Amino acid sequence: MKAAYRAEALTMAKLAAAEKHGKRQDETSQKRHVRDLDPLVFGSLDLRDAYDKHVAGCRMNSALKKPVLHALIQFPIQLKINQETEKRMLRNAIDFVNRTHGGDAVFAARLDRDEDGQHTVDVFFSPKYEKQTKSKGAEVWISTTKHGKELALKHQA
């Protein structure tokens, strides 16, 4: 069995669209609706509010136009769906993203249970890291590329 991971950097406008989708307020989510089950949620469906709380007090490069990453983690479709496996998929997706992106990255995640496909978890995150400078000392910064670059270097041929 194999899993898949795909991530995209989001502007704040795309984050707002993702929030509408998660709340089932857009046309696409209405078309995908096949059963009446609420999603499993980590954090909140209010993505902008969760993001603002997550990055409060953090610094980021002023040129950063896409400060949020949205990962889709597809678990093997052979997994039998029940309450326990749904909770495990959500927890494992969050743990994987945090483990590979500095430990404190995820501010929200959702496993949609009303759609046909039930093995995909949406994870929203803004990775943090501590930056040391001579002038300001230790500060927490947001970077959507730092941890990915480190991971790529670690696993290059």
Local structure of 37: helix, strand or coil: coil
pLDDT of residue 51: 98
pLDDT of residue 81: 95
CB burial of 64-99 (b: ≥16 within 10 Å; e: otherwise) equals eeebbbbbebbbeeeeeeeeeebeebbeebbebbbe
Residues of the chain where predicted confidence (pLDDT) is lower than 50: none
Residues in the chain: 157
Cβ-contact 80, 12 below 8 angstroms: no
Question: 26 CB contacts (<8 Å, ≥6 apart)?
Answer: 17, 20
Q: Measured between alpha carbons, how far is 127 from 51 in angstroms, rounded to an integer?
A: 11
**pTM for the model:** 0.93
- For the stretch 62-91, pLDDT in tens is 999 999 999 999 999 999 999 999 999 999
Could you tell me which of 68, 81, 61 has the C-alpha nearest to residue 109? Answer: 68
